[in-house]
Amino acid sequence: MAPTASPVTPQTRGSGMTRSAAGSRSGSSKSNRTAPTRLSSAMSKSTAERRRKAELARRIVPALAARRYHLPGNDWSHDWVQWFRNNHPLLGICCHHKLHPVRMGQRVVMLIGSVAFGLAATCMVYLWFVQTGRDMNEEAFSVSIGDNVMGNSTSTVSTSYREVSVTHGMIVLWTVGSALHTMFDMTIWRVSACACCQHGGSLECMACGRNWGSYIVVVIVALLVAFSTFVVVLRATIESHDKDGVDDDTYDWGEFENIDDFKFVLGYGIELFLALFVYNFLIGTIFFSGIFGCLPLLGGRPRELKRLNDEKNVGQSGRSSRSDEGFFDDTI
């Protein structure tokens, strides 16, 4: 006997449509519940990323502003590279850390101020020799270049170029002048960075103070450029006066005759090149290594690592003491 098909009634069709509608509503409700979940997950990730960047800035920015020799997570070589990339007067313009508070414009202004200060110091050394009546060009010692370097032909090479003379003026300029130049660079950097007002500094709440240093530096550099221009012209005038042997009462102190009166500017340019690309790396590496650790301010990277370890040990001892106090309070 063949089975009979059950008749399709309106109630049956209605129940099927009801189940399909319920399934579609449940699917749409699941998708509606999934969308806010994804949105909240993305928002939480972005919030966590912002917090991570803020915490990184809080740890890195004060160290960069204070010209620290060590940054968290770096070894000796990485610290050496980052220190010169962030603090070199010329290379730091393009190679500094992206979180560094001293930006490119400020670095260019400080480089101009450094050049102006060095030029002014060069002229001030000359004026000091003139005022005291000493001969700046008096030879202190000389270095002779042998024939094996310059060649055996004396007709084509002048004798004056076969001997390098170091004068008393050069010695004073490369010692006292360079020391004052370095102190100026360090001071102008501290003023511009304003480390105490950066993230993690002692005056972090004074956010408006982060730009004060750059404004002060602009004023200082402008005054310094004007002063260096004055002393350069004064030196050129005095040298031209001494060379011509004109009496002080009849000489016009605002005039100079030829470009030879500015030969000292070329000499200063050579000295500045050596200072930026030879002495800066040499002296910076000596300070970085900490071989003068017996002095208070020249401990370098080893002293900073010791300070960080001491702070870490103090923090751990403080937490352990607080936990011990809580334990005794619970037992009592």
pLDDT one digit per residue (tens) for the chain, 332 residues: 445 555 545 544 445 544 554 555 555 555 555 656 776 777 777 787 788 777 877 788 888 888 889 998 899 999 999 999 998 888 889 999 988 888 899 999 999 999 999 899 888 988 898 888 888 878 888 877 655 445 554 444 445 456 777 788 888 887 787 778 878 887 887 788 776 666 555 566 666 666 788 889 999 999 999 999 999 889 888 877 766 555 555 545 445 455 555 667 776 877 788 778 887 888 888 889 999 888 767 889 999 899 888 888 887 776 666 655 554 455 44
Backbone angle region of 151, left / alpha / beta, with phi > 0 → left and psi within -120 to 50 → alpha: left
pLDDT of 108: 94
Looking at residue 203, its pLDDT comes to 62
Instruction: Read off φ and ψ for residue 164, nearest 5 degrees.
Output: -105, 120
**Residues 272, 274: Cα–Cα separation, whole Å:** 5
Per-residue confidence (pLDDT) for residue 54, from 0 to 100: 79
Q: Please check whether residue 40 lies inside any domain of the structure.
A: no
Q: Which pair of structure tokens corresponds to residue 92?
A: 């730091």
Contact 167, 200 (CB under 8 A): no
163 in any annotated domain = yes
Token pair recorded at residue 270? 């050579």
In Å, how far are 45, 320, 321, 323, 331 from 328, measured between CA atoms?
41, 13, 11, 9, 5
Classify residue 277 by its DSSP letter: I
Position 230 in a domain: yes
Does 47 fall in a domain? Answer: no
Asked if the structure places residue 68 within a domain, the reply is: no
What's the rounded Cα separation, in Å, for the pair 293 and 300?
A: 7
Residue 297 in any domain: the answer is no
Residue 180's Cβ-count burial label (10 Å; 0-12, 13-18, 19+) is middle
What pLDDT sits at residue 101?
Answer: 83
Give Cα 264 distance to the centre of its chain: 30
For residue 183, the enclosing domain spans 74-289
Is 293 within 8 Å of 299 (Cβ atoms)? Answer: yes
Q: What is the pLDDT of residue 327?
A: 44
Q: Enter the pTM of the model.
A: 0.69
Contacting residues for 216 by C-beta, under 8 A, at least 6 apart: 191, 192
Determine the pLDDT at residue 231. 92
The answer to whether the CB of 237 falls within 8 A of the CB of 255 is: yes
Query: 201, exposed or middle or buried, with CB in 10 Å at 0-12, 13-18, 19+?
Result: buried
Residue 112 in tokens: 């101009």
Name the CA dihedral angle for 19, 23, 26, 28, rounded to a multiple of 10 degrees: -130
Domain tally, the chain: 1
Q: Are 82 and 211 in contact (CB under 8 A)?
A: no
Q: What are phi and psi of 271, to 5 degrees?
A: -65, -40
- The answer to the question of residue 60 being in a domain is no
Domain assignment of residue 332, yes or no: no
Tell me, what amino acid is at 117? F
State both tokens at 149: 């370097």
Token duo for residue 89: 């007067």
